[in-house]
Amino acid sequence: MKIFLRVLAILIGALFIFSGFVKAVDPLGFSYKLDEYFEVFAEALSSVAWLASLMLWFKSISLYLSLFMLVLEMTLGWMLIFGIRMKLTSWLMLLLILFFTFLTGYSWYTGKITDCGCFGDAIKLSHSETFWKDVVLTVL
């Protein structure tokens, strides 16, 4: 069981590093994807003015958020592979994956967002494939 968990940690860590690296190749492109999410959420939350305003503010700093996200993904991936602060790393990975699962589920349900941007332009996944990938990662 210990070997299985170690292999699983390495595979998930490598997936996060790959995802972060692909976004690092084009952080501006990833910020455009974040812009798309923030616009859709601002529209969906238009009845709650302060939340819609918050989404538009996030849109104004999307490049910084894209840089933060890609660094976070790669850092957590390396921490998972090397077994650094596993309790903290596991919780942060779980929170991040749950957040991604919500985003991909929303994208699939509404169809308003064309592509999740999970792997940049390197790998294109459908809404359902992306959602189920995130569900599997959540379980793991």
Model confidence over 59-105: pLDDT tens digits?
A: 999 999 999 999 999 999 999 999 999 999 999 999 988 888 888 88
**pLDDT greater than 70 at residue 122:** no
The Cα–Cα gap between 23 and 32 comes to 11
Averaged confidence pLDDT in the chain = 86
**pLDDT greater than 80 at residue 114:** no
> What integer pLDDT is reported at residue 72 of this predicted model?
94
> What integer pLDDT is reported at residue 120 of this predicted model?
60
Tokens 């070997």 -> residue: 3
Tokens 């968990």 -> residue: 5
> What integer pLDDT is reported at residue 117 of this predicted model?
67
User: Are 62 and 31 in contact, with CB atoms under 8 Å apart?
Assistant: yes
